[in-house]
């Protein structure tokens, strides 16, 4: 049996044992997201419009992660609208930043991996790196949106008459609880994912100048910083969506 | 209402100050060429030549185009000299790029026999964009989160310094002890980060214990699986940027990568359980354990997706290149995505293991009727 298959099996059993039905749903969301990610890269490879395919699949990934991640309809709906709004804001940041930084494709450190490959493949790698950055930020944005929406939902269920101005303050204080740990998740992911690259820099005696201007380093750091900015934006945006929903519901009653 | 007014104005003042400071920093990095040893030049004129259409063995259509750049040197010996350099780029820009006016770049300059200068471009100068985005992220963090944002930032900076020292140590030891070094580093990372966020409290100790148990558990499971499946279907030789034996580097990467997510899960569960115990001190151990599980299972799905999406999306460039070079989907997956997939699966297992670990630690420590 292949290693990946056994690990998938272990994760599946562990998730169902610990989480029951919710565990099964979470596992399903991982599986669907894998199919969506793979589909996105295959469609890009088949020369479909990169940004169109990415944005469409990004919205589906957000929906899958959020609706299979929580049961409460108020939480999921708020989190979904909030995270889609944040995604739009983030895309408006990513596109100019990627054009500015020019970190698409591969760096000199990849030369060995590229041996014997044709690089003139007629695909705009700048758009590919925009797609990478958008997709890699979605998980963190979805997680933050669910946490904020669930936290505010809990507060509202205990004080149904909470004035909407207070809600904003509560949103920020829920945000404070999650931001530190999310910051760590992202940065440890970054340290871990690029240990090999950092060892390379040290072994080949890169200077500080070469290091902070390096194409691969800059592209990875941009990815993490943008995910992080996405998480911070999620706090006020999701709170705002919740506030609008509460105001509408109260107007109806 | 009158009281709120000045507070708002003060925060506008802060925002204006922050924007000014950010602008100043970006301006400074635009003019920091003197800090670099390598020659830095600024493009002052671009002349593009004709496109030459190209078709590769896989019928991919592309073009290549030459451009002549007039570059003014900004630092060093040849400061303010203007020279002509050549650049070739394609439509796909996989490893090349079209330069634009006003961009700054690093050059390699040689003096030829007839005293003419000849330059080649080595890379684009990217420090301004890094400074801009880091500044944006840090100011958003500090403006929204104030003190707790500062502590989170401090922990990342300290961890970054430790990480850097550990890499120096690893290279000095010729990569012979990488697992030991980064295993110990993982303990230090977890302890330091939790200490800065939670202080020296009971809660911190419990969270630390759960984090270590979750991570160590996941790593042991992985090592066992690797051993019994004989690493079937994995190609460690495909790892990028490897300068030493790849398998231990991979395991070390996996430990560090999962650590943050496992810590995230444990922190959330344990802080909720401590709050619950504070509000209802009469809660039984079993009820605490079950609530921990309840909280944990609602976070685990989204959390596993965070790292999964990062690790998968990161392989897109190589995946596209393989697919356009006529490789099959399966081959492209095995060569590029499989190791990232293993990393996300291992961190997923760690995240799930942290749920019973955190619930058990917290519930056995928080005695019934205790007031902390």
Cβ neighbors of B110 (< 8 A, separation 6 or more) are B117, B118, B119
CB distance B206 to B362 below 8 Å: yes
Kindly compute the dihedral angle of the four CA atoms of residues B151, B155, B156, B159, in this order, to the nearest 10 degrees.
170
- pLDDT for res A172: 84
| Torsional class of B96: left (φ above 0), alpha (ψ -120 to 50), beta (otherwise) | beta
**Is B159 part of any domain?**
no
Tens of pLDDT, residue by residue over B286-298, are 999 999 999 998 8
Classified as helix, coil or strand, B105 is strand
Question: B64 and A199 in contact by Cβ < 8 A?
Answer: no
- pLDDT for res A97: 96
Q: Does the pLDDT at position B212 exceed 90?
A: yes
Kindly compute the dihedral angle of the four CA atoms of residues A204, A207, A210, A211, in this order, to the nearest 10 degrees.
80
Half-sphere exposure of B353 (CA within 13 A, CB side): 25
**Is A210 part of any domain?**
yes
- pLDDT for res B368: 66
Q: Do B246 and B327 fall within a single domain?
A: yes
Q: Do B223 and B204 fall within a single domain?
A: yes
Only one residue has tokens 């997939």, namely: B341
* Residue, of B70 and A192, whose pLDDT is higher: B70
Partners of B89 on chain A (C-beta within 8 Å) are none
- The partner residue sitting opposite B319, judged by closest CB among A41, A223, A235, is A41
Q: Does the pLDDT at position B2 exceed 60?
A: no
Partners of A191 on chain B (C-beta within 8 Å) are 159-160, 163, 256-257
Q: Do B309 and B180 fall within a single domain?
A: yes
Number of domain units in chain A? 1
- The partner residue sitting opposite A228, judged by closest CB among B137, B253, B263, is B137
- pLDDT for res A78: 95
> Residue A252: which pLDDT band, with cuts at 50, 70 and 90?
confident
Please state, in angstroms and rounded to a whole number, the distance separating the CA atoms of residues A250 and B58. 61
Q: Do B65 and B109 fall within a single domain?
A: yes
**Is A30 part of any domain?**
no
| Mean pLDDT of the region B173-178 | 88
Tens of pLDDT, residue by residue over B70-123, are 999 999 888 999 999 999 999 999 999 999 999 999 999 888 878 788 889 999
Q: Does the pLDDT at position A202 exceed 50?
A: yes
> What pairing do the DSSP bridges indicate for beta strands B61-73 and B82-90?
antiparallel
> What are B45's strand-pairing partners?
B70
Helix, strand, coil % in chain B, rounded to nearest 5:
65, 15, 20
Closest residue of chain A to B346, computed from CA coordinates: A7
**Is B58 part of any domain?**
yes
Q: Do B322 and B308 fall within a single domain?
A: yes
Q: Rounded to two decimals, what is the model's pTM?
A: 0.93
If we measure between CA atoms, which residue out of B54, B92, B57, B96 comes closest to residue B327? B57
- Give me chain B's average pLDDT, please: 89
- Taking the CA of residue B114 and the nearest CA in chain A, the distance in Å comes to 31
If we measure between CA atoms, which residue out of B123, B48, B112 comes closest to residue B83? B112
Question: B253 and A193 in contact by Cβ < 8 A?
Answer: yes
Q: Does the pLDDT at position B6 exceed 60?
A: no
- The partner residue sitting opposite A136, judged by closest CB among B255, B256, B314, is B314
Q: Do B306 and B193 fall within a single domain?
A: yes
Q: Does the pLDDT at position B364 exceed 50?
A: yes
Question: B64 and A191 in contact by Cβ < 8 A?
Answer: no
- Give me chain A's average pLDDT, please: 92
C-beta neighbour count of A157 within 10 angstroms: 10
**Is A173 part of any domain?**
yes
Q: Does the pLDDT at position B5 exceed 70?
A: no
Q: 3-state secondary structure string, B288-349?
A: HHHHHHHHHHHHHHHHHHHHHHHHHHCCHHHHHHHHHCCCCHHHHHHHHHHHHHHHHHHHHH
**Is A43 part of any domain?**
no
**In this predicted complex, what is the ipTM?**
0.93
**Is A46 part of any domain?**
no
CATH number at residue B339: 1.20.1640
- pLDDT for res B12: 83
Q: Helical H runs in A46-124?
A: 50-67, 73-101
**Is B330 part of any domain?**
yes
Q: Do B26 and B50 fall within a single domain?
A: no
Q: Do B284 and B188 fall within a single domain?
A: yes
CB distance B296 to B269 below 8 Å: yes
> Residue B182: which pLDDT band, with cuts at 50, 70 and 90?
very high
Cβ neighbors of B213 (< 8 A, separation 6 or more) are B353, B354, B357, B361
Q: Which of B65, B90, B125 lies at the terminal end of a domain, its last residue?
A: B125
- pLDDT for res B369: 60
What is the extent of the structural domain holding B316?
173-365
Q: Do B257 and B332 fall within a single domain?
A: yes
Please state, in angstroms and rounded to a whole number, the distance separating the CA atoms of residues B93 and A118. 12
CATH number at residue B56: 2.40.50
- pLDDT for res A157: 86
If we measure between CA atoms, which residue out of B65, B64, B68, B73 comes closest to residue B105? B73
Tens of pLDDT, residue by residue over A31-83, are 999 999 999 999 999 999 999 999 999 999 999 999 998 888 999 999 999 99
Number of domain units in chain B? 3
Question: A118 and B56 in contact by Cβ < 8 A?
Answer: yes
- pLDDT for res B8: 44
**Is B265 part of any domain?**
yes
**Is A242 part of any domain?**
yes
- pLDDT for res B10: 58
Question: B229 and A3 in contact by Cβ < 8 A?
Answer: yes
Largest CA distance in chain B: 90
In chain B, what percentage of residues exceed pLDDT 70? 96
What is the extent of the structural domain holding A198?
72-111+120-252
Q: Do B15 and B60 fall within a single domain?
A: no
- pLDDT for res B1: 38
**Is A26 part of any domain?**
no
Question: A101 and B126 in contact by Cβ < 8 A?
Answer: yes
């Amino acid at each position: 049996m292949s290693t990946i298959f056994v690990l998938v099996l272990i994760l599946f059993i562990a998730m169902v044992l610990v989480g029951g039905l919710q565990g099964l749903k979470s596992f399903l969301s991982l599986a669907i997201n894998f199919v969506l990610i793979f589909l996105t890269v295959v469609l890009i490879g088949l020369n479909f419009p990169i940004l169109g395919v990415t944005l469409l699949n990004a919205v589906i990934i957000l929906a899958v992660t959020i609706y299979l991640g929580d049961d409460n309809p108020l939480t999921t709906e708020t989190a979904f609208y909030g995270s889609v709004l944040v995604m739009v804001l983030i895309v408006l940041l990513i596109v100019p930043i990627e054009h500015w930084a020019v970190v698409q494709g591969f760096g000199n450190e990849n030369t060995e991996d590229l041996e014997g490959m044709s690089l003139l493949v007629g695909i705009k790698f700048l758009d590919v790196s925009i797609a990478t950055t958008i997709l890699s930020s979605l998980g963190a944005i979805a997680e933050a949106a669910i946490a904020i929406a669930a936290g505010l939902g809990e507060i509202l269920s205990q004080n149904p008459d909470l004035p909407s101005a207070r809600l904003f303050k509560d949103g920020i204080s829920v945000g404070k609880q999650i931001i530190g740990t999310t910051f760590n998740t992202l940065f440890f992911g970054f340290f871990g994912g690029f240990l090999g690259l950092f060892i390379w820099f040290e072994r080949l005696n890169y200077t500080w100048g070469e290091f902070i201007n390096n194409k691969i380093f800059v592209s990875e750091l941009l990815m993490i910083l943008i995910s992080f900015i996405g998480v911070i934006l999620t706090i006020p945006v999701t709170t705002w969506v919740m506030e609008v929903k509460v105001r509408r519901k109260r107007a109806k009653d | 209402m009158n009281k709120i007014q000045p507070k708002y104005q003060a925060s506008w003042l802060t925002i204006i100050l922050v924007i000014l400071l950010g602008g100043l920093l970006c301006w400074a990095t635009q003019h920091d060429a003197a800090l670099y040893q390598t020659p830095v030049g600024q493009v002052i004129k671009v002349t593009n030549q004709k496109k030459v259409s190209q078709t590769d063995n896989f019928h991919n259509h592309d073009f290549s185009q030459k451009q002549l750049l007039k570059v003014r040197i900004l630092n060093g010996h040849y400061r303010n000299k203007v020279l002509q350099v050549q650049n070739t780029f394609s439509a796909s820009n996989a490893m090349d790029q079209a330069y634009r006016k006003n961009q700054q770049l690093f050059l390699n300059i040689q003096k030829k026999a007839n005293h003419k200068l000849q330059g080649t471009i080595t890379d684009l100068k990217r420090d301004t964009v890094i400074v801009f985005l880091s500044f944006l992220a840090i100011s958003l963090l500090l403006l929204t989160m104030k003190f707790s944002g500062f502590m989170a930032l401090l922990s990342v900076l300290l961890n970054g310094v430790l990480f850097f020292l550990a890499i120096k140590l690893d290279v000095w030891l010729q990569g012979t002890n990488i697992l030991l070094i980064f295993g110990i580093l993982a303990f230090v990372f977890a302890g330091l980060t939790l200490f800065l966020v939670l202080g020296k409290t009971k809660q911190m100790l419990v969270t630390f214990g759960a984090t270590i148990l979750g991570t160590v558990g996941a790593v042991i499971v992985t090592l066992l699986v690797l051993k019994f499946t004989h690493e079937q279907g994995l190609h460690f030789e495909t790892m990028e940027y490897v300068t030493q034996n790849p398998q231990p580097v991979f395991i070390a990467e996996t430990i560090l990568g999962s650590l943050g997510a496992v810590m995230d899960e444990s922190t959330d569960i344990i802080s909720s359980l401590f709050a619950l115990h504070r509000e209802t001190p009469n809660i039984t151990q079993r009820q605490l354990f079950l609530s921990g599980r309840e909280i944990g299972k609602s976070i685990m799905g989204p959390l596993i997706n965070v790292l999964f999406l990062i690790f998968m999306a990161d392989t897109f460039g190589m995946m596209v290149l393989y697919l356009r070079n006529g490789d099959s989907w399966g081959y492209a997956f095995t060569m590029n995505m499989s190791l990232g997939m293993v990393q996300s699966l291992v961190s997923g297992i760690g995240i799930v293991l942290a749920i019973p670990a955190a619930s058990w630690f917290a519930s056995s420590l928080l005695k019934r009727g205790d007031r902390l």
